[in-house]
Amino acid sequence: MTSPERSRAELPDDAGGDPACWMHRVCAECGRLADEDPPTRCPACGAALEV
């Protein structure tokens, strides 16, 4: 048995979700994700984060 293929237009849209990329919020020193956007300092190690 095979199920009929559905086109992308027929698939339900996902509401909400995370942004596509949070790399600007990742601390280069320790790798933690900053809690604020735009980030200013890492909450774990205190390193300054570039905007």
Rounded Cα gap, residues 9 and 42, in angstroms:
41
| DSSP at 29 | T
pLDDT of residue 45: 96
Q: Which amino acid is at 5?
A: E
Q: What is the pLDDT of residues 13-47, one digit of tens each?
A: 666 677 678 888 899 999 999 988 888 999 999 99
Beta strands (DSSP E) in 1-51 are: none
